[in-house]
Structure formats: structure tokens, C-alpha cells
Amino acid sequence: MHRHGYKGRKFGRERDQRRALLKGLATSLVMEERIETTLPKAKELVRYIEKLITKAKKGDLHNRRMVVAGLSTQIAAFKLVDAIAPQLTGRTSGHVRVQRTRMRVGDGAQMAVIEFVDDLKEMPKEEAK
């Protein structure tokens, strides 16, 4: 069968398992701001997270709900919309980078680190007065 016009990687998983994998990777990236995974998963995660960051930067109610639906937890979604997205307004795209790191010992898979391009600062918490 030909490969013309088919986008995305299958990772040897069913559709719902693929979606859960990408949601989990995206949530981990938002919470940790840097993760290590295999190179194909990292490249596929770039496509997924860039769209979520664009929605988070708009920040209206509909896009906020789309970000919540695209991540596993509400805490991660609120962090992306309220803390990370305002710091990424200087860019229109290219918010994350993928760097190859090592070959995994067990199966020889190419590993990669995916992280945000800009340095993210901790947002100061406002105390209730």
C-alpha cells in the first residue's frame, strides 16, 4: 500500500492509545518543561504541542477549553494558559526544540530531549490581602 497523503506516525498503536500517548507526553512537557523520549515521539509531539500553545496564547474561553481537552489534567492546562503562554508571545511558531541525545541501551532507539526554546520564569504567586 502506498504512503501518499498519510500524515502522522502510528507507533504500532490503536487510535485511542496514540491519542492518550500524545496527551500524556504533552502534559509531562508542560509540567516538567523538559522531557526525554524517543525521537519519533518527540517529533510527533512538536506538531501536537505547537497547536495547543497557539490556542493557549489566544486565551479566550473556547480556546482555554480546547487546551483543557488536549491535556490530561486541568492543572497542566491552567499552567500552560496562565503561566507559559504569556511568556511565549514573542514568537509565532517554533516554541519547542528537539535535540537528539543518546541511543537507548535496551533496544538501540534514538532518544531525544524536547523542551521550550525560551527560558520560562516562575510566575510570582500573588497573596490574598
Residue 81 per-residue DSSP state: I
Residues 101 and 112 sit within 8 Å (Cβ to Cβ): yes
pLDDT of 119: 85
Low-confidence ranges of the chain (pLDDT < 70): 123-129
Q: Where are the domains of the chain?
A: 16-103+111-116
Specify the pLDDT at position 94: 94
Residue 118 near residue 128 (C-beta atoms within 8 A): no
- Specify the fold of 16-103+111-116: 50s Ribosomal Protein L17; Chain: A, (3.90.1030)
Per-residue pLDDT of 14-43, as tens digits, reads 999 999 999 999 999 999 999 999 999 999
Q: Record the pTM.
A: 0.90
Of residues 10, 24, 34, the one with CA closest to residue 112 = 34
- How many of the other CB atoms lie within 10 Å of CB of 43? 14
Q: What is the pLDDT of residue 129?
A: 59
